[in-house]
Structure 1
């Protein structure tokens, strides 16, 4: 018995120290940069492609874990978040959904219903990227969620352009080790990649729909940004694969929307450096060297030289929005934030708020040193997601790729280069679209795929252009192009 107790204590200590390792505060830029650079290392993530939907046919999810959810919906309801403003007229829920009971692996979600006609509006799952960054901290608290955090780190203000105006929205922290999501098996934080992230997210959805059965037959959409250019199509792929198994929950997937999405390594990097040069961030010399020596597949020493030279020339700017100010923590802050003027220090405010004891209690989470991004190890990641997008198009799923046009990390040039490789015929030619009588961006519709830009938006589109982002997502959910006038 004593040996068992000592073994248990040692396991808990190992888990504790591994969690400390993952609590370092990073951001989405750093996490995506790490992955891209790892491609050139001696031990890159496995790059195997996904099987076709017909080959897969749900075989890797047998048996599928479905737990008991009796009473958990009511237990997950949030009466009020600490510091929330008056006038909140929608239901909020949060908590854990177990995806692997043997490992003790559970994913955290935050769910907000629409304040009007929630019973008839679609269901949207939002995923942030990284890999390893929080959909709650970024997506819900800085982008498209109903609240944003004031500079005091203790109070909230309303986002009048929140996406729950158009849909009921789930924010999922995935994989385990990100945000409040966790596992009791420490190896889960090291041995994770695209495939397990997709599988766990699918198991989460099946169980979540048992907890909220009124949404089982609702039109379902998945949206996300950055490295969610992998997560979203892969989860859609997994859903379609398992919908073929009639013994399982059929999820009524209608479409996916991915913003400033990393979907193809070669065109992604090529588009990034072309964007730098066309926006006067790098020199003619660097661009000439990149064009001469870089094919963005095999990296030579001369290619690396000019890429590094270009990176240094860009300088210390917010690469998420090349025209935005940087966070200056010593600058005076207003007591109340504004959704019309995104605060570059928002990461700090969210970090402080989500680590308040009373906030974690209201969210029904176990005490956690929350961070926006976590250092989970990434074991598998295909170099391109384009074949998966082609499969989704073939299955009739609506695919939208949108791009904030001031993002330098995954710029619009990368999205255009990636989509052009698919050689899809144009259905509706390139044109401007409008929001509040101004050009909100530009859109072109191909057969099976829509590409749209968002004018004046950075990597986190709803942060910088909340009204235009709501116009965009409302059009997507209604399955029509953004307004022509």
Structure 2
């Protein structure tokens, strides 16, 4: 009799939990976005998930499921993290790179991205940490005390709580991805998921692998490769190249010193008014375009980046009707929405390990699928920086360096190591999916299918 009552209570609690999840999903479902094309054929959800009750800290997400014609219930889940630190995955990943929509120059209308990744997976975009995009904290000090570990813990809590809200994804294959400073976020979160999965009282998340694009991996090797790239591509003088090597690479074992910052400023002056995120790309001349500085990795490296698309996001996501449609207006939004948070970017970022290589080793040994990809026109985290960092892992080579093709043309190069695949994308900058959308789509498809890049012309 006692066991019968226990089972009845258990079934009742499960039923209540499922009913609550269904209601939460209904609340988060996006019925229509302003300027959205008709008949898009896929479902969308967005809203806030609390990660810290005491401080009132909540992260904002936007889920774009696979089209109904592509069987979303059978597709994996890709969690896409923001870069920066302090920049929005909604602004960049969702709206300019891999998401299903692009924003038109008027900042009012959307059009479909023909190379959207949600035809291959259900994409979950996350703004992290609090203070980025529509993510927030009711405790102001939170915004000034973030670091890698705290951001990773919040992202893990978000994922666990989000899966409670969307239980249909609980056992789905999960991949984690991102670019730039997400080169820290992605492996750190993957490490937490991997370790917590081994705990007896933790939910088991079906993590299969992760991917990082033009990501910060290892300070020493990243710096060596970056300065070498600037010099070999004619962006700096011989004397400045030597100065950078002395002041930044061999001058300190910690994050860039004052001498290093000064040397980087000299390099920036020599580089002139170019888009270092894509060194061969023309600058946007629109007077209304968003100007923002890069201060995401090396203090003092403030180089103007002015893609017109950034300003379109600023216009669109500041519209009250858009914020209402995204369920982002519940917090009142007492500030102007920005693609990158001034508060977070200028905060005292608490911890930023010098190297991700130990985490790579741990997760390679855990047999996770790992892809590192790089646009070869990027001057921020160049392909040479990535190659030096990957080489430092000392992994055996399975398939040596070879060209891969798209429509009969060389689209990049690849090398397959034991436990990791490196892919370069020819002619792409820091944000590969923005500059080379079809090629980026092929990279993601090959990663999901666990196949090498197409090697035949």
* Fold match by TM threshold 0.5: yes
Q: How far off is 1:170 after superposition?
A: 0.2
Q: Deviations over 1:428-481 (max 9, x none)?
A: 111011122222211001111111101111111100000000000011011111
Q: 1:283 to 1:195 in 2, by over 3 A?
A: same
> Residues 415 and 182 from structure 1, CA distance in 2 versus in 1: closer, same or farther, beyond 3 angstroms?
same
Find 1:372's aligned residue among 330, 335, 339: 339
TM-fit CA distance, 1:310:
2.2
Moved more, 413-422 or 263-272: 263-272
In 1, Cα distance between the equivalents of 2:86 and 2:260? 29
Q: Is the 8 A contact 1:266 1:297 kept in 2?
A: no
Question: How many Å apart are 1:330 and its aligned residue?
Answer: 4.0
User: In the TM superposition, what are the counterparts of 1:114-193 in structure 2 within 5 Å?
Assistant: 114-115=66-67, 116-193=70-147
Q: 1:453 aligns with which of 417, 424, 432?
A: 424
| Deviation by residue 1:237-280 (Cα, 9 ceiling, x = unmatched) | 00011101132211111111000000111111221111011111
Structure 2: distance between partners of 1:265 and 1:450: 21
Superposed, which structure 2 residues align to 1:282-431 within 5 Å?
Answer: 282-291=236-245, 294-296=248-250, 298=252, 306-330=263-287, 344-366=307-329, 367-368=332-333, 369-374=336-341, 375-376=343-344, 377=347, 378-431=349-402
**3-state SS of the aligned residue for 2:215?**
coil
Determine which structure has greater relative contact order: mean sequence separation of CA pairs < 8 Å that are 6+ residues apart, divided by chain length: 1
Give the structure-1-normalised TM-score: 0.81
Instruction: State the distance in 1 between where 2:33 and 2:188 align.
Output: 33
Tell me how large the CA RMSD over aligned residues is. 1.9
Q: 1:297 to 1:75 in 2, by over 3 A?
A: farther
* Alpha-carbon separation, structure 2, partners of 1:304 and 1:180: 32
Residues 183 and 449 from structure 1, CA distance in 2 versus in 1: closer, same or farther, beyond 3 angstroms? same
Range 368-377 or range 285-294, more displaced: 285-294
- CA distances 1:391-437 after superposition (whole Å, capped 9, x unpaired): 11111111111000100000001001111111111011110111222
1:270–1:296 Cα contact (<8 Å) kept: no
Aligned to 1:5: none
Change (3 A) 1:270 1:155: same
Name which of structure 1's ranges 363-372 and 76-85 shifts more when overlaid on structure 2.
Answer: 363-372
Q: Does 1:82 align with 2:82?
A: no
Alpha-carbon distance between aligned partners in 2 of 1:301 and 1:229, rounded to the nearest angstrom: 24
Equivalent residue in structure 1 for 2:182, among 221, 228, 233 = 228
Matched position secondary structure for 2:73: coil
Query: Whole-Å Cα distance in 2 between the matches of residues 318 and 231 of structure 1?
Result: 25
Q: Deviations over 1:338-397 (max 9, x none)?
A: xxxxx9201101101000000000000124221111122211111111111111111111
Q: Is the 8 A contact 1:325 1:344 kept in 2?
A: no
CA contact (8 A) 1:146 1:162 kept: yes
Decide whether aligned partners of structure 1 residues 171 and 257 sit closer, same or farther in structure 2, where only a CA change above 3 A counts: same
Where 1:370 maps in the other structure, the secondary structure is: coil
Give the aligned partner of residue 31 of structure 1. Answer: none
Q: In the superposition, relative to structure 1, how do residues 198 and 301 fare at CA in structure 2: closer, same or farther (>3 Å)?
A: closer
Partner of 2:249, secondary structure, is: coil
Cα pair 1:269 1:296 within 8 Å, conserved: no
Q: 1:72 to 1:278 in 2, by over 3 A?
A: same
Which of residues 254, 258, 263 is equivalent to 2:217?
A: 263
Cα shift at 1:326: 1.4
Paired with 2:444 and 2:436, the residues of 1 have a C-alpha distance of: 12
Residue 62 of structure 1 corresponds to which residue in structure 2?
Answer: none
Shift of 1:291: 4.2
- 1:229 aligns to what SS in structure 2? helix
Equivalent pairs, count: 410
1:318–1:243 distance in 2 versus 1, CA, 3 Å: same
* TM-aligned CA deviation for residue 483 of structure 1: 1.1
What is the aligned partner in structure 1 of residue 440 from structure 2? 469
3-state SS in 2 of match to 1:71 = helix
1:478 aligned to 2:452? no
CA apart distance, 1:302: 7.0
Partner of 2:44: 92
Cα separation, 1, equivalents of 2:246 and 2:354:
22
Question: How many angstroms apart in 1 are the aligned matches of 2:118 and 2:257?
Answer: 48
Residues 1:301 and 1:219: Cα distance change in structure 2 (over 3 Å): closer
Q: Any gaps of 5 or more consecutive residues in structure 1?
A: 1-65, 333-342
**d(CA) in 1 for partners of 2:391, 2:339:** 33
